[in-house]
Structure 1
């Protein structure tokens, strides 16, 4: 189901930053600051993972799959954070249901007639898949769309057409072929990775041959929202107690805001491969980035509030699920401004700046959120993910509760060398960079603090100088009076 608060958002991105900017001009690009990106950038089609449907990686900002709907091919953003399928353009060999619908997102929505057409996706065929056909525009050009892979309880289309005829793609595949296991897997590649050149893959009902080890990983139960909030059900699970290990090797404490969570030290985490930048509580993001020299928190138009830090700064963070550690590649912890079409800027220390990819929430989750964080592409590139629908499927006879399995695919030694190669030109200078003391301040507040402190010091020096000047004057007058009295 679509995220009620994120949605596909294409923003005009203008350079606007409180950091020193050198030789920067205002630019405008099409950027999905939250859900993916539409771009004409070259796509890497290399895949080392046989057997799956190859994904097209657009600069680590979005991952597209080619589907055949009606009699033509569409490039659709794969999205585990929503469930419905929509495409822009006229679909041939389709039947109009006579119904219309809107899929509502935070900043906008897409609307159009609900149609049905034959769908071919990942070696599976659905003869009459329901989808939304929207008119192309500048934001959504003809030939693109979104394919939702999340639970169907919040599907806008099925509410209009009916549970089974209007069911999302995966539900239709699993329901019409009971021999197909009720799971799918997602593998996301990393752009500019010097050692692992693949763009990504998706499978339905099967596991990629070289990642069979995922079947031995712990079953992470998909936590279910209360019945009255079923529209907000996502592919979500529990992080371990204090399950984030920061750059200093210490755990980052969190307190869950999810009402139904029994252990408040366990955060509820949503996995969303349609979300470019992971969203975390502000306290967690600050704990990750604030202690690096030159790091500043600022507002970036089209992206929102984020930490900016030197591109040469290696950031190492690890997440823990069911007692297992999942390290994040340092290339996934920060992003170059050029990736989103912006000119380079400098940090307050004069170094080339990058954007911290893990950012505080950029939207309002409501008074009673059903999750504490969203781990998007920057996290998911570090794991091979398996999502088992279990008894989520309408009419399913499966007795097993839905679950998630994660296989770590990031080797920390190799990841460090990748960072040195890509960001440092092959010369390892990471050993010269330490962390500021945890009590030190950063960002605009730090600068203000320094200004106030400097003013105070100057004031004290002036006061001392005045004191000594007056003291000297008093002594001179005293001696003069003494001399006059002698006369």
Structure 2
């Protein structure tokens, strides 16, 4: 079983441009459920939007309307934060809880079109009672892209018909001659005001990242029927060497940790000891116990005198405490440094439609030397901008001189 070694390079800035993003700002925490798919034969590329590197959005047509939704590999249901025009509504209700909120409402059936795929009768949650930060950041729903195992929306009858919960696993099983994967290329903006670029594909490898096909497949954990896109971590590597890991998750092999790959989470969450090892040797870095976060000098690779700080985007949190399902949550701050393939499993043959176990492929998109030089250049360039403009998180004016924090990603 192939596992994974995680390398930390601080600071990290890199990424190739694919498709336009609109960027949004709010930290995301682990969601509790994960998948939605579609039925059809045409697959391809989907335009994404992103704002401040913290939320990735694509348009999905549900019923007779189009909604901007967050693409979330850490959950497994389609949720729209409103009633859906053209949908058939059942008397059944469901409550889906997330790490940062919830969505409650009636289960509905509607046609769904996304990325060239169309489902004529997709079960979804049309929520009229909800609380989630993404609603204030441009998203009108959440499209779960996880495995089918952890779906929250049950199958149900409407007008004598069997309701259909269609996952990507179901979709791929109906078109066995086509590839069974989705991909993400999440990148970052090259300056404080520019639109970011990136892409999401279904069954297609972006030409810029074809080398991912020669990388080893990384098994999920568990290997069969995982309810999340979790993999096993062998160790993590810092500038001063490789650090072993252990897990608080039940039945995980010795010397491994469980790492969840989640596009619906902005930051990275890891055990306190691991985060201290990452930031503790950076000159000038300090842990703010009141906010439970590390503050890192803004110009960490510069020999300039400036008191501006970045909030470290690797956050200490013991996720597996109390019987959790993973030790490390690798959100967008990590995923922007790799091209990610989520494969739902290969078929044994065209005549044998038994789908194999799902797996992940990762291709590094970060050149360490180039990243350091780019960080140096961009932080010097952006510093005057942050001193004279509003804080993008709070809307308050930053002081033109003196110490302050830019509440953003340092990786």
User: Which interval holds the TM-score relative to the shorter structure?
Assistant: 0.7 to 0.9
> Contact (CA 8 Å) 1:73, 1:143: kept in 2 or not?
no
> Contact (CA 8 Å) 2:108, 2:125: kept in 1 or not?
yes
- Determine if the alignment matches structure 1 residue 271 to structure 2 residue 261: yes
CA distance in 2, matches of 1:161, 1:415: 53
CA distance in 2, matches of 1:312, 1:289: 14
What is the CA distance between 1:350 and its match in structure 2? 6.7
Match of 1:377 among 332, 339, 342: 332
- 1:83–1:307 CA distance, 2 compared to 1 (3 A): same
> Contact (CA 8 Å) 2:269, 2:315: kept in 1 or not?
yes
Q: Please list the CA deviations of residues 104-129 of structure 1 after superposition, one character each: whole Å capped at 9, or x if unmatched.
A: 22453210011111111111111111
Residue 238 of structure 1: aligned partner: 232
Residue 176 of structure 2: aligned partner: 178
Match of 2:315 among 359, 372, 375: 359
> Contact (CA 8 Å) 1:391, 1:397: kept in 2 or not?
no
What is the CA distance between 1:411 and its match in structure 2? 1.5
**Greater mean alpha carbon deviation, residues 62-71 or residues 289-298:** 289-298
CA distance in 2, matches of 1:209, 1:161: 43
TM-score normalised by the chain length of structure 1:
0.62
Match of 2:360 among 383, 386, 404: 404
What is the CA distance between 1:188 and its match in structure 2? 0.6
CA distance in 1, matches of 2:131, 2:25: 9
What is the CA distance between 1:261 and its match in structure 2? 2.0
CA distance in 2, matches of 1:153, 1:138: 24
Match of 2:203 among 194, 202, 205: 205
Residue 98 of structure 1: aligned partner: 91
CA distance in 2, matches of 1:172, 1:68: 19
> Contact (CA 8 Å) 2:30, 2:99: kept in 1 or not?
no
- Richer in strand (by share): 2
- Determine if the alignment matches structure 1 residue 60 to structure 2 residue 53: yes
Pairs within 5 Å for 1:254-293: 254-262=245-253, 264-293=254-283
Q: Please list the CA deviations of residues 403-440 of structure 1 after superposition, one character each: whole Å capped at 9, or x if unmatched.
A: 1111111112221221011112399xxxxxxxxxxxxx
- Determine if the alignment matches structure 1 residue 252 to structure 2 residue 243: yes
> Contact (CA 8 Å) 1:289, 1:307: kept in 2 or not?
yes
Greater RCO (CA < 8 Å, at least 6 residues apart)? 2
Residue 154 of structure 1: aligned partner: 150
CA distance in 1, matches of 2:176, 2:163: 17
- 1:299–1:60 CA distance, 2 compared to 1 (3 A): farther
- 1:220–1:172 CA distance, 2 compared to 1 (3 A): same
Residue 400 of structure 2: aligned partner: none
**Greater mean alpha carbon deviation, residues 170-179 or residues 53-62:** 170-179
- Richer in helix (by share): 1
CA RMSD of aligned residues (A): 3.2
Three-state SS of the structure 1 residue aligned to 2:149 is: helix
Pairs within 5 Å for 1:411-426: 411-425=367-381
Three-state SS of the structure 1 residue aligned to 2:381 is: coil
CA distance in 2, matches of 1:67, 1:276: 21
Match of 2:295 among 305, 308, 312: 308
Larger Rg: 1
Structure 2, unmatched stretches of 5+, are 1-23, 32-42, 384-411
> Contact (CA 8 Å) 1:87, 1:143: kept in 2 or not?
no
Structure 1, unmatched stretches of 5+, are 1-28, 37-49, 316-348, 428-487
